[in-house]
Chains A and B, each alone.
Chain A
């Protein structure tokens, strides 16, 4: 499993765009990149997933450069409710459900300031 490295914490003001970068130098060809959000005492919630280039959904964008050794989660115009821990995961989904036995790591604690 590819190891990921993220900043431990980040602060942002309300209304700003937040970019959280994750390094995954040992990403394999079949690996996808997935981001989860977790609020205190709750289970993580899926945000977005991508393989290469850019993926966008209603809550976030994911930018993946050509070498795929890093990825950036972009949260547009954050609000106080976006204060949470964000996890970057890398894994092969082509091998079936078992590939999701991932170690989430410590994630990035985002604090949104009013």
Chain B
């Protein structure tokens, strides 16, 4: 069974640009979670998508947004990038819970 996949592995952007990160959950999993992990910090919950709908979001500004497609893959968009957005962005999928299956992450660097 293929695990959660994320692309790209690394992404380098400059301040003010937009970044798009992608996630494909495990086949059959309908829920996708996005987390941000800044250097030296724990994972901070960003967004939760289930059955194509945004169900909840963490304490992040509106420039962090996303969507979930009919095949349950998901996209995270970060607009107007700031230096502090540099982090590892992790996607996780879940079926019936409680275990979350994480992808390898996308390392976003904002210069």
A interface with B by C-beta (< 8 Å): 32, 34, 41-46, 49, 87, 91, 93, 96-107
Contact = CB atoms under 8 A, between A and B. Distances in A.
Contacts of A104: 35, 42-44
B48 A105 contact: no
B99 A46 contact: yes
Interface residues of B, number: 31
Contact of B41 (A32, A96, A98, A106): A106
B98 A103 contact: no
Contacts of B50: 97-98
A103 B42 contact: yes
Nearest to B98: A93
A106 B42 contact: yes
Main secondary structure of the interface of B (DSSP, over half): strand
Given A43-B90, A44-B43, A103-B45, A98 B98 contact: no
Interface string B76-111: 000000000000101110101111111111010000
A102 B92 contact: no
B65 to A, nearest CB: 16
Contacts of A99: 97
Contacts of B99: 46, 49
B42 A105 contact: yes
Interface of B: 4, 31, 33, 35, 40-45, 48, 50, 55-56, 58, 88, 90-92, 94, 96-105, 107
B100 to A, nearest CB: 6
A97 B51 CA distance: 11
Contact of A49 (B40, B43, B56, B98): B98
B31 A97 contact: yes
Contacts of A93: 97-98
B8 to A, nearest CB: 14
